[in-house]
Structure 1
Amino acid sequence: MDAHERDILEVWHENAAPWTQAVRGKMIASRRLVTDRAMLDAVRARRPRTAIDLGCGEGWLVRALAAEGIETLGIDAVPALIAAARDVGGGRFLAMDYAAIAAGSLRERADVVTCNFSLLGGASVDALLRAVPALLAPDGALIVQTLHPFTVCGDAPYADSWREGSWQGCGEGFGRAAPWYFRTLAGWLDALSQARLRVTRVVEPAHPHTGRPASLILIAEAA
């Protein structure tokens, strides 16, 4: 495993508790104002009966979808996050990393597969995306919400590359931050195409205060 990919997993193991507190305490302004609702709206538009949330964290999206009658399975590589999710309930939860899913260990299918700010790696994400078509029911869709590349690129070159992470705006109690793999819009489209997923809709939720894109949502179906 690449050192950056390994660091991502290690950092999330270390920061499971403060992350759970940040999400449940609604400490992240962009999520509270824009992105949580944007993800829910994108899923609702598909009218699914079943869903799989990859990288579910402490389980907020699983609980929100289950409350609307959608049978949802949440999966995360961090056992502490899965334990926190199970403590609250509201859906099924399973501890499994992306490598296992990429290898075909997840024997589930759903109308919607969601990845809400959970695709942080490079090669690990590419491998995971290649496994997604087998997880989709007929006419199913993958819904990815991620950082908007135009908004978060900063002064660095606009090119797919590893970047340093930050917990800024997430509250207190965090340790070191994980690296993450920045993808341009073309990089995202290429990754999905290589996984035999066809993008059918692009959504750019705007921040109500700045008017700038708060995130990028890509909706794709099996090609």
Structure 2
Amino acid sequence: MNEDVSDGWAASAVAWIVEQGEDGDYGRRFVLDAPMRARIEGRGFRNALDVGCGEGRFCRIMQRAGIRTTGLDPTEALLARARELDPTGNYRLGRAETMELSAEFDLVVSYLSLIDVPDLGAAIARMVAALRPGGTLLIANLTSFSTAGQPDGWTRDGEGIPRFSIDHYMEERAIWVSWRGIRIQNWHRPLGTYMTLLLDHGLQLRLFVEPEPAGGDPERNAVHRRVPYFHIMEWQKPA
């Protein structure tokens, strides 16, 4: 399948690589990275799968924590960049919905990748199948009220005050979003859709947080506090 026709990632890969650099974009650096690192460091994880690894940034973070990693992504240009930055890393071309990996991982990570997946049910089933009994599924995702406000997001009311409007929250739908030369397809789904699919696989919820910014620019952080963009969930597969 032509990835660009379906979701825009192939055409956006170069701009994405520039946007991320080696340290990630603003939300990753100042909102998500610290709490995500806190969930992987010092917990004895040995073998991790990063689903939707992109240019491999979180794989490299996990490696620095002593975890062996496998990165999976459907966009060849992003994998080429991952291999350039991490020549000895294990990066594979593939989609979350169709990957065929045995239950060999004690940690499976989705770092802002579930919003890119058209068939969420199939992707979660494959991710759970890749986990060892007792293993951990760690998810960072856009909040559903954030995606329900896209693509318009922030607008100004009649008095010029910035407002974030959400609508059609219960309607699962694809959304095209664009910024800095990137144009990709995301999916809005109600939070209940994610929770039901994960619970239906017998997973046990161990963590749910909406992280606040730490460091960075105070004005940008104020926006994140008005409308949190992200949540982090940790689920455990029964032993």
**Structure-2 change in CA distance of 1:121 and 1:16 (3 Å):** closer
Structure 2 residue identity aligned to 1:149: S
Match of 1:161 in 2: 172
Match of 1:7 in 2: 6
Q: CA deviation at 1:178?
A: 2.6
Match of 2:159 in 1: none
Task: Pick from 148, 167, 181 the counterpart of residue 187 of structure 2.
Answer: 181
What is the aligned-residue RMSD (CA, Å)? 2.5
Q: CA deviation at 1:188?
A: 1.4
Q: CA deviation at 1:122?
A: 5.8
Q: TM-score, normalised by structure 2?
A: 0.78
Contact (CA 8 Å) 2:96, 2:126: kept in 1 or not? no
State the number of aligned residues. 211
Q: CA deviation at 1:149?
A: 1.9
**Structure-2 change in CA distance of 1:196 and 1:27 (3 Å):** closer
Structure 2 residue identity aligned to 1:47: G
Task: Provide the C-alpha distance between the structure 2 equivalents of 1:108 and 1:91, rounded to a whole number of angstroms.
Answer: 20
Contact (CA 8 Å) 1:34, 1:214: kept in 2 or not? no
Question: For 1:60-71, what aligned pairs fall within 5 Å after superposition?
Answer: 60-71=57-68
Q: CA deviation at 1:123?
A: 5.1
Seq. identity, %: 27
Q: CA deviation at 1:46?
A: 4.1
Contact (CA 8 Å) 1:130, 1:196: kept in 2 or not? no
Structure 2 residue identity aligned to 1:188: Y
Q: CA deviation at 1:62?
A: 0.5
Q: Which has the higher strand share?
A: 2
1:98 and 2:106 correspond: no
Question: For 1:74-223, what aligned pairs fall within 5 Å after superposition?
Answer: 74-89=71-86, 91-101=89-99, 105-107=100-102, 109-121=104-116, 124-154=119-149, 155-168=166-179, 172-174=180-182, 177-208=183-214, 209-210=221-222, 211-212=225-226, 213-223=228-238
Residue 114 of structure 2 aligns to a residue whose secondary structure is: coil
Q: TM-score, normalised by structure 1?
A: 0.83
Contact (CA 8 Å) 2:108, 2:136: kept in 1 or not? yes
Task: Provide the C-alpha distance between the structure 1 equivalents of 2:77 and 2:230, rounded to a whole number of angstroms.
Answer: 27
Structure 2 unaligned regions, length at least 5: 150-165, 215-220
Q: Which has the higher contact order (CA 8 A, sep 6+)?
A: 1
Contact (CA 8 Å) 2:172, 2:190: kept in 1 or not? no
Residue 100 of structure 1 aligns to a residue whose secondary structure is: coil
Between 132-141 and 112-121, the greater mean CA deviation after superposition: 132-141
Q: CA deviation at 1:206?
A: 1.4
Contact (CA 8 Å) 2:49, 2:109: kept in 1 or not? yes
Between 121-130 and 47-56, the greater mean CA deviation after superposition: 121-130
Task: Provide the C-alpha distance between the structure 2 equivalents of 1:44 and 1:16, rounded to a whole number of angstroms.
Answer: 29
1:53 and 2:64 correspond: no
Contact (CA 8 Å) 1:66, 1:91: kept in 2 or not? no
Q: CA deviation at 1:45?
A: 6.3
Task: Provide the C-alpha distance between the structure 2 equivalents of 1:148 and 1:44, rounded to a whole number of angstroms.
Answer: 24
Structure 2 residue identity aligned to 1:95: L
